[in-house]
Structure 1
Amino acid sequence: MEDYSKNTYFSTFKRLKDNQFKVGNTTYKERITKLNALKRALDITYKNKLREALYADFKKPYIETDITELYLVIKEIKYAKANLKAWTKKQQVDTPITLFGTSSWVKYEPKGVCLIIAPWNYPINLTFGPLVSAIAAGNTVILKPSEMTPNTSKVMADIVKDVFNEDEVVLVEGEVETSKELLKLPFNHIFFTGSPQVGKIVMNAAAKHLTSVTLELGGKSPTIVDKSANIKESIKKIVWGKHLNNGQTCIAPDYALVHESILQEFIKVYKAQVLNYYTEDASTSNSYSRVVNERHYNRLINHIENAKNQGATIELGGSCNAKDNYIEPTLITNLKEESSLMQDEIFGPILPIKTYKTIDEAVAYVNSKEKPLALYIYSNNKKNTNYIINNTRAGSTCINSNAIQYSNHYLPFGGSNNSGIGKAHGFFGFQEFSNMRSVLKRHVKGPVYLLLPPYNNFKQKLTDLTIKWF
C-alpha cells in the first residue's frame, strides 16, 4: 500500500477517512441539520460578508451575488431537505420469477471521502452547491476553492469552520500546488469544475486510484438565431446571458450563429440593449462586474487584438482599462475561423458573430467543434428547433432563452465528453456522490436450487425451458 504520510494534507484526509462511516451512517434528519446550518450561514450570518468579498474580488454587483450565488445554493438546500428522506430510503426493485423467494433493492450509500475543487467565477455557488449534494449523500469532504478570489475564499473558510466539525468538512486554501498535492491522495470521489485542459489533469490523477469523477467543464457554447426569432426579445436575453458576471460563466453564449438576413438588425438591437442595460459607459454602471484579474484581462485583450490584426470588425465596444480590469461589452463580426476568439473558450464580455445561410450549415459548424456544455436556440420555427436538437450534441439546451436551465434543479446539469462527465443538481447531484449498492435477500428456497450440480438431463431440459420462457 502506498505511503501518503509525507503528503502535506494526509493527516486531514486520514481524519476524514477515519470518520467516514460515522458520517455515512447519519440519518437524513442529522444531514438536514447540517444543511440548515449552512443555509443560515449563507442567508443570514455571512450574507453581507460574502457580498462584500465578491465585490472586492471582481466588483460583482450585490444583486448578481444574491441571484447567481446565494439563491442557487439555498434553493439546492431547500430541495435536498424536502426530498432527502425519500432519497435515502432503500429503493425497492422488481425481482424476476426465476429468483422466486428473494427480494431486491438499491441502497444509496455514500462514496466516502470526497474532494471538491471549485473555480473562481462563481466561487460560492460552485463550492457549496456540490457540497450540498455531498452532505446529503453522507460523505466527508475536502473543499479547495480558487486562489483567484481570495476574499471570498477567506469568508467561505470561516463558514466551514463555523458550521462543520473538522472531521466532516474541511476547506483548504492555497495555490495550484495545493491542488496537485490533494490530487495525489486516494479520494473516493472528485468533483471538479473548471476548464477541459485542467479536467484532463484531474482525471489522470483520479485514474491512478480508480477514483470516480464529476467533471463540470466548459467549451464554446453556441447561440443559434434563425430568421423566425423575435430579435428584440432574443437579444434582451442574449445580452444578459453574455454579460452576466462579465461573461465569466461556463454556460454563457460563447459565439452567435446568426442567419445572414437578420445580421444588421441583430447588431443594431444588440447595441441598443447594451446601452439600455449598462448605459453609454459600462465602467460607471453598478450592474457590470470586472474581469477577475490581470492575467485574464490580458488574455481577453490579446483575443481582441488578434481579431483586429486579422481584419475583424469591432461593431461595439473594445474599450478597456487595465487598472480596473475593465473591458467594455464587445461585439465582433467578420472573424476568420483561425482567430483565437473562434478557437478558444472566451470567458469574457466579447461576443463574436458568425453568419449562416441554412440550418444545415449552422449545425455542421457546431458539430465541427467539441460538444458544448450548453447550446442555445432562438427560433419560432419548431421544425428548425427540432432539427438542431436532433442533429447536435450538448450538455444542455435552452430554447428562446439562455443560462436559466442551470437554475432548474429538476434537470441534470453537466456536459458531454469535452464539456464534462457526470451530472449535478438535485437528485442527480445526490446520485453523483452516492454508490448505488444492489442488495438481494433470499427468504425461501426458489427454483434456482433445481439447477445446482450435479447436472443431468432433467436439469438441462429445465434450463432450456428457462431460457425460452423466462
Structure 2
Amino acid sequence: MALGIEGVATELRSVYASGKTKTFQWRVSQLKAILRLTTDHEKEIAEALRSDLNKPEHEAFIHEIAAISTTCKFVLKELRKWMTPEKVKTTMNTFPSSAEIVSEPLGVVLIVSTWNYPFLLSLDPLIGAIAAGNAVVLKPSEVAPATSALLVKLLGEYMDTSAVRVVEGAVPETTALLEQKWDKIFYTGNGRVGRIILAAAAKHLTPVVLELGGKCPVVVDSNTNLKVTARRIISGKWGCNSGQTCVSPDYVITTKEFASTLVDAFSSELEAFYGKDPVHSNDLSSIVNSRHFDRLTSYLDEDKVSGKIVIGGQRDRANLKIAPTVVLNAPEDSLIMTEEIFGPLLPIITVNKIEDSIRLISSREKPLAAYLFTNDKNLTEEFIRNVSTGGMCINDTTLHLVEPTLPFGGVGESGMGAYHGKFSFEAFSHKKSVLQRGFTGDVEARFPPYTPGKLKFLKAMLSGSILRILRALLGW
C-alpha cells in the first residue's frame, strides 16, 4: 500500500507540473463537477449519512448537501476575482516600479477528513484546494465507511482523476500518506492526531491547517430572551449531529441564581423538539459507534456526576442513542468537564456573577468557538475583547461557520489556519510578490564606489524629505 500511495503522489506531481490545474477553465470545470455530483446524487448522499450516523435527512440536507452546493456557487462566482493579481502601491525605496501580489497554487496537497460531517468536511476543503489550482489527494474517514465509499465512486465518475484522487483506508494508509512530501496538509479531527500530522509535516517543512476542537463554552446571562436562547443552544448542541460537532456547545456557564430557570427552559424546549422519549426520536442522530457510545456513558456514570443529571440520561446501546442530557454543577475534575464531550451531554456550571465566566474561560485552553447570550452591550464588548477563541457568535450558536465571508479556524489547542469562502482559496495558495521595473531610473547612490555624499543622499531620500534630498543633491 505504501508503494501504491507513493505512486499516487508521484503521478499527481507530474500532472501538476504540466500546468493543467492552474488554468481558470480547469478549476471551473472541477467545481461545476462537484456541484453536479451533489445535486445529482442528493438521495444517495443522504442515505450514506443515514447509514454512517443515522443522520436525519433534514440535517443531512442543510448541514452537508446544501452547504456544499452553496459553497460551490459562491466560489464559482468569485473565483476570477480571487485569481486576478492584486495591484499594490510602491514606495520611494523602489521608484520607479510597479508591484502586484499573485496567488499561485501550492502544488500537490493532502486533505485528511473526519467522520462527523463526512461529506461536508471532505468536499469543503477540496473545493478550496481546487479553486486555488492544486492537485489533491483526499483521505476520507474510515469511521464513516458508507460516505467514504460513495466519495470514491462519485469523485471517480465526475472529477478529473488524473489530478484529484481519493485514498481510502485507516491508520496504515494514513501513515503511508504522511510519509510522502506534500505542499500542504489539511486535517480535520482531534488534537492527538493533529500532533501526529504536525510532526510528520515537520519532516518535510510542509505547512498545515489543523481544524481541531476543544470545549466550546456558552455563557448565558439572565438579561436575555430565555426561550430564544434555549432553542438556539439546543439547535447548536443536539440539532447538529447530536453534539458530535467541533463547534457544538460543550458546556454552559450561568449564574447560580439563574441556573434553575435555564434548566426549566431547556427541559421545555427539548420536549417540544424531541418528545417525551427522545432516544426514539427520528430527529436525533445516533452516536457514531459503540466505542464513542461507551466513552460518553462513562462520563455520565462517573460517581461524581451521576447524581447531578437534571435532564435526560436515558440511553439505548442497541441503537447507539443517548437522550439529550443536562448535568448541573459537575465537578471541575470530572471527565465531562476535562474532556471534549463530542456528544449529546451538556454540563452547566455556575458562577456568582456573569462576568466571572470570562475569567473562567480564559483559564482554560482556547476553544474553537465561544458563545454569549445577553442583551447587555457592555458584557458583549468585554466578551469579544477578552475571550480568545477561533470564532464566536453572540446570541446564537454555530452559525458563524456557515458565513463564507468569515474565516473559520482555531487558535492554540483548537487548531491553526482557517478556511471557508476566500479563506479556503487562500489556505491553498501562496501569495507571491512581484515587483517590476524598467531599465531606467537607477539611483547611482545605490552602487559602489560608496561615498559620504552617496550615503547622505540615500538617507535623505529614504527620509522622504524633499528639502533634505535637495540639500544632498546640491551639497548644502
Q: Shorter chain as normaliser: what TM range?
A: over 0.9
User: Does 1:14 pair with 2:10?
Assistant: yes
Count the aligned residue pairs: 464
Which residue matches 1:157? 152
Q: What secondary structure is seen at the aligned counterpart in 2 of 1:9?
A: helix
* d(CA) in 1 for partners of 2:246, 2:403: 16
Which residue matches 2:90? 95
Contact kept? 2:279, 2:315, Cα under 8 Å:
no
**Mapping for residues 339-418 of structure 1, pairs under 5 Å:** 339-418=334-413
Q: What secondary structure is seen at the aligned counterpart in 1 of 2:258?
A: helix
Contact kept? 1:106, 1:437, Cα under 8 Å:
yes
User: Does 1:327 pair with 2:322?
Assistant: yes
* d(CA) in 1 for partners of 2:176, 2:444: 53
Contact kept? 2:21, 2:135, Cα under 8 Å:
no
Which residue matches 1:313? 308
Q: CA deviation at 1:449?
A: 4.0
Contact kept? 1:396, 1:413, Cα under 8 Å:
yes
Which residue matches 1:50? 45
Contact kept? 2:85, 2:102, Cα under 8 Å:
yes
Q: CA deviation at 1:391?
A: 1.2
Which residue matches 2:252? 256
Which residue matches 1:116? 111
C-alpha distance 6-64 of structure 1, shift in aligned 2 (>3 A): closer
* d(CA) in 2 for partners of 1:358, 1:309: 25
Greater alpha carbon shift after TM alignment, 326-335 vs 24-33: 24-33
* d(CA) in 2 for partners of 1:175, 1:311: 35
Question: Match for 2:401: what amino acid?
Answer: Y
**Which of 259, 277, 296 is residue 300 of structure 1 equivalent to?**
296
Q: CA deviation at 1:132?
A: 0.4
* d(CA) in 2 for partners of 1:312, 1:136: 52
Question: Match for 1:271: what amino acid?
Answer: S
Question: Match for 1:329: what amino acid?
Answer: P
* d(CA) in 1 for partners of 2:292, 2:461: 65
Q: What secondary structure is seen at the aligned counterpart in 1 of 2:412?
A: coil
Question: Match for 2:258: what amino acid?
Answer: I
Contact kept? 2:22, 2:105, Cα under 8 Å:
no
Structure 2 unaligned runs (5+)? Answer: 466-476
Q: CA deviation at 1:327?
A: 0.6
Contact kept? 1:241, 1:252, Cα under 8 Å:
yes
* d(CA) in 1 for partners of 2:305, 2:225: 32
Which residue matches 2:472? none
Over aligned residues, Cα RMSD in angstroms?
1.4
Which residue matches 1:68? 63
1:284-322: per-residue Cα shift (whole Å, max 9, x none)?
22211100001100110111112x445641101111111
1:127-146: per-residue Cα shift (whole Å, max 9, x none)?
00000000000000000111
C-alpha distance 8-449 of structure 1, shift in aligned 2 (>3 A): farther
Q: CA deviation at 1:25?
A: 5.4
Which residue matches 1:459? 454
Contact kept? 1:223, 1:377, Cα under 8 Å:
yes
Q: What secondary structure is seen at the aligned counterpart in 2 of 1:19?
A: helix
Contact kept? 2:304, 2:331, Cα under 8 Å:
no
Q: CA deviation at 1:334?
A: 2.4
* d(CA) in 2 for partners of 1:77, 1:166: 19
* d(CA) in 2 for partners of 1:219, 1:90: 37
Question: Match for 1:43: what amino acid?
Answer: T
Question: Match for 2:201: what amino acid?
Answer: A
Which residue matches 2:191? 196
Q: CA deviation at 1:468?
A: 2.3
1:228-251: per-residue Cα shift (whole Å, max 9, x none)?
111111000001111021100000
Question: Match for 2:300: what amino acid?
Answer: I
1:152-208: per-residue Cα shift (whole Å, max 9, x none)?
111111111011222211111101221111011100000000111211111111111
Contact kept? 1:241, 1:402, Cα under 8 Å:
yes
Greater alpha carbon shift after TM alignment, 13-22 vs 113-122: 13-22
1:66-113: per-residue Cα shift (whole Å, max 9, x none)?
000011111111111011111111111111123122211111000001
Which residue matches 1:247? 243
**Which of 134, 153, 173 is residue 178 of structure 1 equivalent to?**
173
* d(CA) in 2 for partners of 1:177, 1:206: 17
Which residue matches 1:135? 130
Which residue matches 1:167? 162
Q: CA deviation at 1:27?
A: 2.6
Question: Match for 2:299: what amino acid?
Answer: H
Which residue matches 2:263? 267
Query: Which runs of at least 4 in structure 1 moved beyond 6 Å after TM superposition?
Result: none
Residue identity over aligned pairs, in percent, reads 36
Q: CA deviation at 1:7?
A: 3.7
C-alpha distance 95-48 of structure 1, shift in aligned 2 (>3 A): same
Which residue matches 2:474? none
TM-score of the aligned structures, taking structure 1 as reference length:
0.96
* d(CA) in 1 for partners of 2:188, 2:285: 21
Question: Match for 2:392: what amino acid?
Answer: T
User: Does 1:216 pair with 2:214?
Assistant: no
1:333-390: per-residue Cα shift (whole Å, max 9, x none)?
1211100110011000000000112233211110111100000000000001111111
Q: What secondary structure is seen at the aligned counterpart in 2 of 1:363?
A: helix
Structure 1 unaligned runs (5+)? Answer: none
Question: Match for 1:420: what amino acid?
Answer: G
Question: Match for 1:35: what amino acid?
Answer: L
C-alpha distance 311-276 of structure 1, shift in aligned 2 (>3 A): closer
C-alpha distance 275-25 of structure 1, shift in aligned 2 (>3 A): closer
Q: CA deviation at 1:444?
A: 3.5
* d(CA) in 1 for partners of 2:89, 2:319: 62
**Which of 28, 31, 42 is residue 27 of structure 2 equivalent to?**
31
User: Does 1:79 pair with 2:74?
Assistant: yes
* d(CA) in 2 for partners of 1:143, 1:446: 50
Give the number of the structure whose alpha-carbon radius of gyration is greater. 2
Q: What secondary structure is seen at the aligned counterpart in 2 of 1:377?
A: strand
